[in-house]
Amino acid sequence: MIDLIIKNGTIITASESYLADLAIRGGKIVTIGQGLEHPGAETVDALGKYVLPGAIDAHVHLETPVGAAVSADTYETGTLAAACGGVTTVFDFAVQGKGQGLVEAVEERVKIFKPQACVDFAFHTAITDLTPAVLAEFEKSVTYGVPSFKLYMVYKDLMVDDGVLADALEKSKESGALIAVHAENPALIERRTQRLLAAGKTSAWYHYESRPEFVEAEAIKRAIHLAKAFNAPLYIVHLACKEGLAEVTKARDEGYKIYAETCPQYLNFTNEVYQRKDGRNFVCSPPIKGQESQDALWDGIRRGDIQTVATDHCPFQSFEKDWGKDDFTKIPNGCMGIENLYPYMLGAANRGKLSFNKAVEICATNPAKIFGCAPEKGTIAVGSDADIVIYDPAKKVTISQQNMHSAVDYTIWEGVTLTGYPVLTFSRGQLVYKEGQFVGQPGWGKFVKCRGRNELSN
Ligand code: DUC
Ligand code: ZN
Ligand code: ZN
């Protein structure tokens, strides 16, 4: 018995675009063909529309304490907003408490996530305390289904030093784990910040001045240097600067498995936003850089040196951003984007900035391959999960806080008009979003266990 047939659409994968019908049974794609009919199956006519794999947002911080604030989206509102933007899998971070085991940190989070999740979810673990016991637990975490570990090179309470990063890289090589880094140089940031504050330079612009391009680039170079030393793969999260990207390109040209992710906010805005009256709403780390970096990031995507685009979704309410109106160091760091990722990247494809196949590759197929959930996730193929977005290339939407679904009271994307927008989202064959409305169920999302050893070739 077939549950659902999607007819007459243009199917777009990372490698092909073609007209075909899809048949779905038990949450899986079971047939791709022409003229599919099945009595009793629900039928969706996608004539004139694009049929895409659901996006994977490989970088979100839901309900996460950051300093005195907690990021505004709960697991429920965050994954609900994800569904409404065509994201069918999110990767959240389980932050390891001091002395805590890696699997224990994830299990704690799964318990809270499970009843609330509106789409499927997976985890990276943020390692904050790399004891010998934790190093010895790498294999167990890989086997358990969380093979990717993030290390922060900045942020008091979270950051690790170069020795820890080196140990983690060395161990990742033999255990099949993938190390990811938030790359910025904390010593440079600290001294620059003190100097700026002492000079009374306190506005949001100085958040950028305290950690400009070279501060990020230095840390990227250092992390890549260490990864090369152990010939270990490395994933750089939220890459935002031209010079750091050049180092990624160089290492990849030399044959190293260095992967880079960037975010929509770095692709759409420049550091000029920090001069705006609402500049503090754009405060995130690494900060949004200058035009040269933005141009380089787009080139990096088109060349394949940036393999993924994810959001770093970590919104804070206006009143929390306002804590820093007289001191940029008091602004909670983070921007929103979970609902904007796919519409924005597909809108860019619709404008000819990249191909639709490339947009699918970087938003869905590559994250699934890198983090070990392909081909169940990230593509349209027989046997894959029926995580499907129907996209209307003619539908115009102007983004506004009112038509978004996140729990935050503003959006940095306010007023941005997109031509082309998702009209339906299916999560494992279940309709969860229809024409501006969430129509799914909290608790529907399931925990996706990933495999180690990423499957993306260099
Ligand atoms: N950067 C942010 O801006 N927010 C959350 C964490 C991060 O790395
Ligand atoms: Zn980060
Ligand atoms: Zn982050």
- pLDDT tens per residue, range 42-56: 999 999 999 999 999
Number of domains comprising the chain: 2
Does 446 fall in a domain?
A: no
Nearest CA owner, ligand 1 atom 7: 285
> Is the domain of 100 the same as that of 140?
yes
Ligand 1 touching residue 312 (CB < 6 A): yes
pTM of the predicted model over 0.95: yes
* Bridge partner list, 180: 150, 235
Residues 93 and 142 in one domain: yes
Q: Are residues 118 and 198 in the same domain?
A: yes
Ligand 1 within 6 A of 61 CB?
Answer: yes
Atom 2 (ligand 1): residue with closest C-alpha? 334
Give me the pLDDT at residue 454, please: 73
> What is the band of 69 on the pLDDT scale with cuts at 50, 70, 90?
very high
**Centroid of ligand 2 to alpha carbon of 286 (angstroms):** 7
Q: Using the predicted structure, report yes or no on whether residue 458 has a pLDDT greater than 90.
A: no
Q: What is the dihedral of CA 359, 371, 316, 72, to 10 degrees?
A: 110
- Indicate whether 313 and 257 sit together in one domain: yes
Domain end residue (candidates: 371, 397, 426):
371
Give the pLDDT confidence score for residue 67 in this predicted structure: 87
Does residue 104 lie within any of the structural domains?
A: yes
- Cβ pair 377, 405 in contact under 8 A: no
Same domain, 311 and 262: yes
Q: How far is the CA of 259 from the centre of ligand 1 (A)?
A: 19
357 CB-near residues (< 8 Å, 6+ apart): 12, 13, 14, 15, 16, 17
Asked whether residue 388 falls in the same domain as residue 250, the answer is: no
Q: How confident is the model at residue 457 (pLDDT cuts 50, 70, 90)?
A: confident
Tens digit of each residue's pLDDT (9 = 90 or more) over 164-213: 999 999 999 999 999 999 999 999 999 999 999 999 999 999 999 999 99
What HEC string does 137-176 produce? CHHHHHHHCCCEEEEECCCCCCECCHHHHHHHHHHHHHHC
**200 and 322 share one domain:** yes
| CA of 237 relative to ligand 2 center, distance in Å | 7
Ligand at minimal distance from the CA of 64 is 1
Residues 35 and 68 in one domain: no
Domain assignment of residue 455, yes or no: no
**pLDDT score, position 453:** 75
* The predicted structure's pLDDT at residue 113: 96
pLDDT band for position 390 (50/70/90)?
A: very high
Q: Is residue 71 lining ligand 1, measured as CB closer than 6 Å?
A: no
Return the minimum-mean-pLDDT range out of 77-81, 119-123, 155-159, 413-417: 155-159
Domain stops at, among 350, 371, 392: 371
Q: What is the dihedral of CA 422, 427, 432, 433, to 10 degrees?
A: 0
Ligand nearest to the CA of 65: 1
> Distance, CA 152 to ligand 2 centroid (Å)?
7
Judged by phi (left if over 0) then psi (alpha if -120 to 50, else beta), residue 409 lies in: alpha
Would 456 be classed as within a structural domain? no
Segment 61-75 mean pLDDT? 95
Q: Which of 392, 436, 389, 317 has its CA nearest to residue 47?
A: 392
Domain interval for residue 405 = 4-53+384-438
Q: 285: Cβ below 6 Å to ligand 1? A: yes
Are both 288 and 145 inside the same structural domain?
yes
Token duo for residue 387: 């995580």
Inside any domain, residue 458: no
Share of the chain above pLDDT 70, in %: 100
289 shares a domain with 421: no
Ligand 1 pocket residue status of 314, Cβ below 6 Å: yes
Query: Does residue 450 lie within any of the structural domains?
Result: no
Assess whether 40 and 167 both reside in one domain: no
Are 361 and 415 a contacting pair, CB within 8 Å? no
Q: Give the residue, by CA position, lying nearest to ligand 1 atom 4.
A: 334
Phi-psi region of 153 (alpha: psi -120 to 50; beta: other; left: phi over 0): alpha
Residue whose Cα lies nearest atom 5 of ligand 1: it is 334
Mean predicted lDDT score pLDDT of the chain:
97
CATH of the domain at 13: 2.30.40.10
* CATH number, position 84: 3.20.20.140
In the prediction, which pLDDT does 417 show? 98
In whole angstroms, give the CA distance from residue 180 to residue 160.
Answer: 12
Residue 445 confidence (pLDDT) = 98
* In a shared domain, residues 263 and 274: yes
- Per-residue pLDDT band for 5 (boundaries 50, 70, 90) equals very high
| Strands 430-434 and 417-427, bridge-based pairing | antiparallel
Last residue of a domain, one of 333, 348, 371: 371
> Tens digit of pLDDT for each residue in 321-377?
999 999 999 999 999 999 999 999 999 999 999 999 999 999 999 999 999 999 999
Query: Which tokens go with 254?
Result: 């030399």
Question: Is residue 260 situated within a structural domain?
Answer: yes
Q: pLDDT tens digits for 95-126?
A: 999 999 999 999 999 999 999 999 999 999 99
Cβ neighbours of 39 (radius 10 Å): 6
Determine if ligand 1 sits within 6 Å of the CB of residue 284.
yes
d(CA 148, CA 71): 22
Residue 182 Cβ contacting ligand 1 at under 6 Å: yes
* Cβ(9)–Cβ(46) below 8 Å: yes
3-state secondary structure 77-139: HHHHHHHHCCEEEEEEEEECCCCCCHHHHHHHHHHHHCCCCCCEEEEEEECCCCCHHHHHCHH
pLDDT at residue 38, rounded to an integer? 93
Is 334's C-beta closer than 6 angstroms to any atom of ligand 1?
yes
Give the separation between CA 176 and CA 452, rounded to whole angstroms: 5
Instruction: Tell me which residue has its CA closest to atom 1 in ligand 1.
Output: 285
The verdict on residue 451 lying in a domain is: no
| pLDDT for 455 beyond 90 | no
Average pLDDT over residues 427-455: 95
